[in-house]
């Protein structure tokens, strides 16, 4: 363990750590070390972050020949899930064990622990859910379908009060733009002969939802912007005729394409997004 203020070593521990996770997990003041699995169990240690003192040393029983999906720690709670098995929630203080049916709790791709509310978020197949440590589903979100199926947490922000979640999401099909093959057509080229050439970039939305109720409180989408028209002239080299065309675009929709990072400044009440083109946009009311 190193101190960031001086990069000096505070303490060191030894052991053959498991390969399920490359690093130990942290909760305020304590750290979980996961050792190599031994057939029917996995050795675990809980250490004090301050000085490395071993607070608890124990083995957690596992089902033989079943892959471990995850082992996560949240304060005194240990969450263990094996392939096609129930979720186990173990209280390491008194060894009390709760189980959640594998049909109710599917293995998520990511977690976010909410220390203020003693809850945790799970992300799976673009959906978000809130659970408590009794194994009960607290919240399902009414309008918060994430853009990335594998849960890119760079596009998710939880407020410091842990009451709001702000994410880059899939846009609704009833937005004010044409939908074709699941992509929103927001750029239309109007030619002088009356024909139209439609471009189909993908514009998502920024959704703000209440974590405890699941209600969508606000949304930024392509419908929030007004189209802008760019005028173009060209000359046909063979006929020497001038061609006139218009390029209709929506700058809000363009800013909502391919977002790769999202941050919310709680003091200024502004959302910052960055996209794959290297552009940063500021959203403010």
191's CB contacts (< 8 A; 6+ apart) are 197, 243, 245
Which of 104, 135, 169 is the last residue before a domain boundary?
104
- And the tokens for 222? 């392509």
- Of the residues 68, 87, 104, the one at which a domain ends: 104
Domain CATH code at residue 97: 2.40.10.480
Residue 49 in any domain: the answer is: yes
What does 123-180 look like in DSSP terms, one character per residue? EETTEEEEEETTS-EEEE-SS--BS-TT--GGGEEE-TTS-EEEEEEPPPTTSSSEEE
Are residue 91 and residue 202 in the same domain, yes or no? no
How many domains, the chain? 2
16 and 94, same domain (yes or no): yes
Give the SS3 label for residue 197. Answer: strand
Q: Is residue 190 situated within a structural domain?
A: yes
What DSSP character marks residue 19? S
State pLDDT tens for residues 159-199. 999 999 999 999 875 443 433 333 333 344 444 445 544 44
Of 104, 122, 143, the last residue of a domain is: 104
- At residue 174, φ and ψ (nearest 5 deg) are -100, 20
User: Rounded to 5 degrees, what angle do the CA atoms 112, 118, 124 make?
Assistant: 30
Quick one: tokens of 215?
């209600």
User: What is the reported pLDDT for 183?
Assistant: 38
Query: Quick check: is 123 in a domain?
Result: no
Average pLDDT over residues 144-173: 90
Same domain? 175 vs 78:
no
pLDDT tens for 1-13 read 677 667 677 666 6
Place of tokens 């009833």: 174
- Asked if residue 5 is part of any domain, the answer here is yes
Residue-wise pLDDT for 78-120, tens only, equals 999 999 999 999 998 888 999 999 999 999 999 899 988 999 9
Q: What is the pLDDT of residues 196-248, one digit of tens each?
A: 444 444 789 999 999 999 999 999 988 765 545 445 555 555 655 655 554 44
Do 99 and 209 lie in a common domain?
no
pLDDT tier, 26 (very low <50, low <70, confident <90, very high otherwise): very low
Q: Which residues pair with 31 in a beta bridge?
A: 26, 47
Domain range for 70 = 1-104
């Amino acid at each position: 363990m190193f101190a960031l203020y001086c990069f000096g070593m505070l303490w060191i521990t030894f052991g053959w750590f498991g390969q399920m996770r490359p690093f130990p997990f942290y909760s305020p003041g304590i750290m979980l070390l996961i050792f190599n699995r031994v057939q029917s169990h996995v050795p675990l240690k809980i250490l004090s972050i301050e000085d490395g003192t071993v607070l608890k040393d124990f083995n957690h029983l596992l089902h033989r020949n079943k892959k471990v999906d995850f082992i996560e720690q949240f304060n005194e709670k240990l969450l263990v899930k094996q392939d096609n098995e129930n979720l186990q929630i173990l209280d390491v203080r008194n060894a009390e064990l709760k189980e959640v049916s594998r049909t109710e709790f599917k293995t998520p791709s990511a977690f976010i622990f909410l220390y203020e509310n003693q809850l945790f978020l799970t992300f799976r197949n673009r959906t978000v859910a809130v659970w408590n440590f009794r194994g009960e589903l607290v919240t399902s979100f009414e309008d918060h379908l994430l853009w990335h199926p594998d849960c890119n947490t760079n596009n998710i922000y939880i407020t410091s009060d842990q009451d709001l979640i702000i994410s880059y999401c899939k846009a609704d099909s009833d937005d004010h733009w044409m939908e074709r093959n699941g992509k929103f057509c927001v750029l239309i080229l109007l030619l002088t002969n009356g024909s139209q050439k439609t471009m189909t970039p993908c514009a998502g939305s920024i959704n703000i939802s209440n974590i405890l109720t699941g209600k969508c409180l606000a949304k930024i989408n392509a419908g929030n912007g007004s189209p802008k028209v760019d005028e173009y002239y060209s000359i046909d080299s063979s006929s020497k005729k001038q061609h006139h065309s218009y390029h209709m675009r929506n700058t809000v929709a363009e800013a909502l394409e391919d977002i790769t990072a999202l941050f919310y400044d709680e003091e200024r009440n502004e959302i910052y997004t960055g996209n794959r083109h290297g552009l940063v946009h500021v959203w403010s009311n």
